[in-house]
Structure formats: C-alpha cells, structure tokens
C-alpha cells in the first residue's frame, strides 16, 4: 500500500436529527484539538427536531485552517441517506464507516474507488453499553481506530461530556468507544490511507463565533443579556444561561424579540453594559425599539445572526442578506455602528469593542454575524483571546463625584462632538427626561424646527468621529499594499476564511491574488477608499444576490467593484466554490 497521508483529513458524520450528529462531531473536534491538531468544523442541520438529514464536517491539519473543503476522505454514515448524499464528495481512496446492519449498494462505492468499512456498531453499542443509542459513540471510536488516533483524547472528552449524567453513563460510553476502536483498528486501519497522530504543542481553544462573542462581551464588562431563542444566535443564550451564576451575569429569556431589545435598553439606561441577540427575523421585530435607542442615545449592543430570508426563509442555514437592512433599520436618521467579524478572533474583538463604541458614541452597535460564523468551530491559540488586555472605556459617563460638582445637568447637551455627558438615573443632580419624541437639551419634548435641526445634526456628528476610530479593512496576501496584485477579492464577515484559502491556492498557482476584508462597515471606515483604490481589479464575494457591500463601496467611494461571486442557497462558501466561480467570471470576460 502507498505511504499514508498523515494529519490531513476531512470527514463528515451524517445522519438524522436525534442521532447525535452535532454532539458527536463537536466531541471529536475537541478530541483532535487535545491531541495538538488544528481543526475547522461546521454543521448543517434541518429545521426539525427529528428526522431529516444533518451532517457535521471536520477538517484536520497540522497548521491553522480557516475553512472546510468540498472533498472529504472519510464518511461516518449513520443512515443510508448519508451515503447517497455524500458519496460524490468522497475522494478515491476514501472510506465509509457504516453499521453492519445498514444495507448499502457496494458497486457505486467501488466505481468511485471508495472503501466500505462495515462494523457492528449497533451490536457493540448494545452489548458494551446497554443501548443502541450509543451507536454514534461507537462510530467515533471506529473513526479514531481506523485512523490510529490516540484514544485517550476521545476518552477524556467522553468523560467531560457525560459526567453530569453519572458514572454509569460515562462507564458505558467508554466501554463502547474502546470496543469499536479496537475492532476498527485491528481490521481496517492498515487498509485506510490516512492517519492522525498526536502533535506536541499548547492546548488550544475550540471556539464558535457565538462563544467568542460571549467571551469578548463579558471581558468588556457586559452584565446583561436579553434574548428570545432564534437560530443562529441561540448559542449565545445558552452560554449566558450556563455561566450567569458563576460570572454574576443577568440573563433574561424573553417572550419575544421586542421585549428583548426593550429590556436591554432599560438595563443600559440604568448603566449596565447590555446586549441582545437575535436573527434577521427577530431584528425585524426590534426595529422600532432600535429607533428608541437612537433617539434616547442609549448604548446597546445587538448581535444579528443572519440566515436566509425573507420571512422564516431557511431558518437553519446561512446567508449575508441583512447588511443594508441593518444600516437603514428604523425610521429616520440616527447613528449606529455595524461590525462584521470574519472569524472567531474577530468575533471576540467585536464582542469586546462593541461596548466601548456603544458607550463612547452613545448609540446602538450591531455585530453582524451569520450561521456559518456563529456555529462553526475552529482551534484558536489562547493568546489570541487575551481577556486581561481588554480595556473598558465608558465614554462620557459621569461619576457621582463629577455630578456633585455640576450645577446644570442636561442629558442631551449640545457639544462640538455631538456626544453629551451621560449620567445614570438616580443622582439628585442628574434628574432628566428621556423620551422617544424629539426633545431639547434637557430631554423635554419639543417641536421647534430649529431645535429639531440642531438635535439631528448633534446626533449624526458622532458618526464622523466613529468613522476615524473604526478599523480599516485588512489586506491579506503576499502584497498587503496591493501594488503588484492583479486580482483583489473584497469581502466582509464569514467569507474571510474560505477566501483566505482561495487566495493561498491562487498564489501557489502563480497568480498574484489578494483579499481586502472589512470587519466594520458602518460608518464606512476612514482609509478604506485609499486601500481599495490601490487594487487593479476588485471582485466582491458575498452571501447575497445583489452584492450589498459592493453597492455600499460604490456609494461611499465611487469605486466600482468589477465582479461579484455570490451565493444564496443557504450553504457557506468554500475555497473550491470561489475558485470555480472565478473561473466562470474570467471565462465570460475573455469570451471563452
């Protein structure tokens, strides 16, 4: 047999909702990370409690990786449908792990050069663990055995995951995983061309975008989250609920999204750093209250996890269709800041920076995420998320000592910057009115045209200051100045990872390719026009039909993005998809 491929493997676990596809995949991803390997993992599931087809894909390597791939080398098939769906993705020499009871046609597998590894997974689960429910645990043991991966890392994850259910459950799952491991290793490991080996190195974090946002937010002093469960930000709710007691947080699961944002506004009004999390559909309900935060200049943070719309759309899939929506949501004109992190590290920074920005400019800050970013897992070096270095800047928030020295406090005082001194209600020298109507400096309602004009200008002046502070787009590639780059992709949000790999592949083929990534889009960052103007040829990569960032760039800079690679089928971008569509674009351009 040819020499084995070491520590380079992409595999999927496929099955129905209720078979433990997600929990199994996440557990195996952690086990790989504990062995010093880098992983990227994403999940795809249907919007139902039972049935349907779900999968969890894990990619493993010895170096940092930022995306999944379209090809896989190993499939853990819990159903026959998983084989039918994913066989076209398997490379020649790849393999399928399936229960012996699963009736599969072997001819299509042989035609593709794929090996079938039939194992008595259900029998092992029943005999060793006492229940067929542990079939997914057996499948993980078989995957570790067939790749010769050190079993102790998987055992440690099982112990961590099941200890809350008691020692007997832990013992049963360990017995199942060991039996399946030995069976697969003895019979099939020699015939499989891929092997996973433990590497020395630091223990890395395994993070989703949702978790990274939570870590950044709490490091920045967030104490309050109000939210209604809605894919893909439900993980944020779960994190706050799990950690509220230990970290002294307040989490309110509200009856709807309107209650969530108004509770967050109330908490922020009283001085707490407050956040709410939702999807595009939930944000639609929040729009009127968003205007209230804008009028009262209340600093709140909103995480908007995009998924395909309109209406319910595809509730468990991914898209980038809400950019222009969040820029213009609610009637009238008022400042808001929009951050668009692209990976777990940027999600952590966004979670931390959002609160400083919200309080510094006394306006809503929206973190625009999506299903792919929010729920995917990736290994991250611990020093990339240094909680101790997160600085807290509360802006023009007056302390009780400063208030004691004031004689005439006006909450909405006209200032050169547009930022007024802010006081938490309760101090006798800071009594004021806060209303959703237009108001004077002291907060009292007014319909005076001159005052109205001055207040609009006051609020919007803050955007010019914020524009200078927001991070400019970052250029990736061999030529960060873009002077020698023949092709530059423009992107925002979760397309960052797949694009980074697509750019690497293009440069390895002799092309001069680069990437400009926006991690903040509004107010349009100062310096962005100069960076984009250096590029010879711009192509936007966006998960929407209309090229919303490309349109915003044209609006703000006059620079026309030449091409658009779009995706709006609910599935995330992959490096291969980007390169395929680039070829089609260039073929059309050349008349081929």
Segments of the chain assigned to CATH 3.40.50.970: 206-389
pLDDT at site 592: 42
Contact indicator for 76, 28 with CB cutoff of 8 Å: no
The secondary element (H helix, E strand) that includes residue 96 is strand 90-99
Q: Which CATH number fits domain 474-590: 3.40.50.970, 3.40.50.920, 3.10.310.10, 3.40.50.2300?
A: 3.40.50.920
Q: Which residues of 552-580 are buried (b: 16+ CB within 10 A; e: fewer)?
A: bbeebeebebbbbbbbbebbbbbbbbbbe
Segments of the chain assigned to CATH 3.40.50.920: 474-590
What is the C-alpha separation between 7 and 26, in angstroms, rounded? 18
Q: How many helices (H) and strands (E) does the chain have?
A: 20, 22
pLDDT at site 178: 97
The CATH number given to 5-195 is 3.40.920.10
Q: Which CATH number fits domain 206-389: 3.20.20.80, 3.90.700.10, 3.40.50.970, 2.30.42.10?
A: 3.40.50.970
293 closest CA partner among 280, 302, 284: 302
Q: What is the pLDDT along the chain (592 residues), one digit of tens a residue?
A: 578 999 999 999 999 988 999 999 999 999 999 999 999 999 999 888 888 899 999 999 999 999 999 999 999 999 999 999 999 999 999 999 999 999 898 899 999 999 999 999 999 999 999 999 999 999 999 999 999 999 999 999 999 999 999 999 999 999 999 999 999 999 999 999 999 999 998 889 999 999 999 999 999 999 999 999 999 999 999 999 999 999 999 999 999 999 999 999 999 999 999 999 999 999 999 999 999 999 999 999 999 999 999 999 999 999 999 999 999 999 999 999 999 999 999 999 999 999 999 999 999 999 999 999 999 999 999 988 888 889 999 999 999 999 998 888 999 999 999 999 999 999 998 899 999 999 999 999 999 999 999 999 999 999 999 999 999 999 998 888 888 899 999 999 999 999 999 999 999 999 999 999 999 999 999 999 999 999 999 999 999 999 999 999 999 999 999 999 999 999 999 999 999 999 999 985 544 4
pLDDT at site 50: 81
Segments of the chain assigned to CATH 3.40.920.10: 5-195
| pTM exceeds 0.85, yes or no | yes
3-state secondary structure 36-83: CCEEEEEEECCCCCCEEEEEEEEEEECCCCCCCCCCEEEEEECCHHHH
What is the C-alpha separation between 341 and 343, in angstroms, rounded? 6
């Amino acid at each position: 047999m040819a020499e084995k491929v070491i520590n380079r493997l992409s595999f999927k676990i496929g099955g129905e909702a209720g078979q433990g596809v997600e929990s199994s995949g996440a557990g195996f991803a952690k086990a790989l990370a504990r062995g010093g390997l880098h992983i990227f993992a994403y999940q795809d599931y249907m919007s139902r409690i039972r049935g349907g087809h779900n999968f969890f894909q894990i990619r493993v390597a010895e170096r940092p990786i930022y995306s999944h791939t379209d090809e896989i080398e190993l499939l853990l098939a819990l159903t026959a449908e998983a084989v039918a769906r994913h066989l076209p993705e398997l490379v020649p020499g790849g393999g399928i792990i399936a229960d012996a009871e699963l009736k599969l046609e072997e001819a299509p597998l042989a035609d593709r050069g794929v090996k079938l590894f039939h194992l008595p997974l259900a029998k092992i689960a029943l005999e060793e663990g006492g229940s067929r429910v542990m079939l997914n645990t057996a499948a993980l043991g078989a995957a570790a055995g067939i790749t010769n991966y050190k079993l102790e890392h998987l055992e440690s994850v099982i112990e961590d995951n099941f200890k809350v259910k008691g020692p007997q459950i832990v013992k049963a799952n360990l017995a199942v995983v060991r039996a399946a491991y030995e069976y697969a290793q003895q019979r099939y490991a020699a015939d499989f061309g891929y092997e996973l080996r433990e590497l020395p190195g630091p223990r890395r974090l395994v993070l989703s975008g949702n978790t990274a946002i939570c870590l950044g937010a709490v490091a920045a002093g967030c104490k309050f989250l109000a939210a209604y469960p809605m894919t893909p930000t439900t993980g944020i709710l779960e994190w706050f609920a799990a950690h509220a007691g230990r970290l002294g947080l307040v989490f309110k699961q509200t009856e709807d999204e309107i209650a969530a944002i108004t509770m967050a506004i109330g908490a922020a009004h009283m001085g707490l750093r407050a956040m709410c999390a939702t999807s595009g559909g939930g944000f639609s309900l929040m729009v009127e209250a968003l205007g209230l935060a804008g009028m009262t200049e209340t600093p709140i943070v909103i995480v908007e996890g995009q998924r395909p719309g309109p209406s319910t759309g595809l509730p468990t899939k991914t898209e980038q269709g809400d950019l222009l929506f969040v820029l213009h949501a609610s009637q009238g004109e008022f400042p808001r800041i929009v951050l668009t992190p692209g990976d777990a590290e940027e999600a952590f920074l966004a979670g931390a920076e959002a609160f400083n920005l919200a309080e510094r400019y006394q306006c809503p800050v929206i973190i625009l995420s999506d299903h792919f970013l929010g729920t995917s897992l990736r290994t991250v070096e611990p020093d990339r998320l240094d909680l101790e270095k997160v600085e807290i800047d509360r802006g023009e928030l007056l302390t009780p000592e400063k208030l004691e020295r004031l004689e005439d406090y006006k909450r909405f005082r006209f200032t050169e910057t547009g930022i007024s001194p802010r006081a938490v209600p309760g101090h006798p020298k800071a009594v004021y009115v806060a209303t959703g109507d237009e108001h004077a400096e002291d907060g009292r309602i007014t319909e005076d045209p001159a005052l109205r004009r001055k207040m609009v200008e006051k609020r919007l002046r803050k955007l010019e200051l914020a524009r200078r502070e927001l991070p400019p787009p970052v250029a990736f590639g061999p030529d960060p100045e873009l002077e020698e780059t023949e092709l530059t992709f423009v992107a925002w949000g979760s397309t960052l990872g797949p694009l980074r790999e697509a750019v690497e592949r293009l440069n390895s083929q002799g092309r001069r390719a680069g990437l400009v990534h926006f991690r903040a889009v509004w107010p349009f960052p100062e310096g962005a026009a100069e960076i984009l103007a250096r590029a010879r040829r711009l192509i936007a990569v966006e998960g929407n039909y209309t090229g919303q960032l490309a349109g915003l760039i044209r609006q703000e800079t006059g620079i026309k993005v030449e091409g658009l690679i779009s995706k709006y089928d609910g599935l995330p971008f992959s490096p291969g998809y980007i390169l395929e569509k680039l070829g089609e674009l260039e073929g059309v351009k050349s008349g081929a």
